Amino acid sequence: MEPLRIGISARLLYPDPRRFFLPGKSVQYLEQSVANWVMSGEVLAFMVPELSLASPHLPSRITVRDYVDMLDGLVLQGGEDIAPETYGETPLNPAWSGDRIRDRYEIALFEEFVRQGKPVFGICRGCQLINVALGGSLYQDIGTQVGEAVQHRDDRRYEGTFHAMRVLEGGWLSRLYPDCRSARINTIHHQAVKGLGRDLVVEAVSEPDGIVEAVRWQGPSFVAGVQWHPEFMDPSDPQILDGRPLLAAFLAACRKRKGAGQPAPALESA
């Protein structure tokens, strides 16, 4: 059987004279850890480019749908904040303005994957993107908008920051980790899910502040997101949550969809 073909959304960098590498150019890139994490499932990983940045050399006939036709699933990787305008707000601080170009690009990808009934898994920003694409909202900054929150980001330690998480009973995540009610995860975000998007359910929350750490869509295809970064965590470390079951569940859904060969009903609300 040929390996699955998994698309991974691109991170974007814009022209910056302070940057040594291609300071006058837009750059699209795939973070190595997430690529390796996906490929550890014995699948092929492909970065899906943001088409508009290629101007003036845009293809005349290739569309997002053509990419989705060729792929079996999508991973939305982490990165820059989501722009508050994308969920109907204005930035409370210029530093939280986010990336509207990437928002539009990833939402278009998400919607086409869902229309074709192909699985989607979101990591950190990707989890937030799923929520916003389905009509939800975000805390622009946990530290200023949520009272008595634990520290969810420390730029000095980056993925070396951890906190406790509670897996909610009776959900998909609790079935994936049947012996786990509490876990330790890394945390690299200052924004988080506030209002839930359509047909999303919460699967896990941080302790003790209750910030949403995982969501799942109740629609006809596999859509799930986690706020932590499983690709940065060592699966051999017994002190932290093993991310391998997450990847296995996502890839199993991709194989099931590929074997069925028929798309699920279109998502009217996406």
Two tokens at 256?
Answer: 């099931």
Catalytic residue selected from 31, 124, 163, 189: 124
Distance CA 214, CA 229 (A): 11
Q: What is the DSSP string of 60-125?
A: SS--HHHHHHH-SEEEE---SPPPGGGGT---SSGGG---HHHHHHHHHHHHHHHHTT--EEEETH
Two tokens at 112?
Answer: 């086409």
Burial class of 268 by CB neighbour count within 10 A (0 to 12, 13 to 18, 19+): exposed
Q: Are 191 and 96 in contact (CB under 8 A)?
A: yes
**Alpha-carbon torsion, ordered 253, 259, 260, 264, to 10 deg:** 40
Catalytic residue selected from 152, 189, 190, 229: 229
169 flagged as catalytic? no
180 flagged as catalytic? no
Please give the C-alpha separations between residue 81 and each of 76, 98, 102, 241, 253, in angstroms, as whole numbers.
13, 4, 10, 25, 28
Catalytic residue selected from 106, 203, 231, 254: 231
Q: How many residues does the chain have?
A: 270
Q: Residue 122's closest CA among 214, 12, 241, 253? A: 214
Please give the C-alpha separations between residue 255 and each of 2, 149, 216, 250, in angstroms, as whole numbers.
11, 39, 19, 9
Q: Are 161 and 186 in contact (CB under 8 A)?
A: yes
152 flagged as catalytic? no
Catalytic (active-site) positions: 124, 229, 231
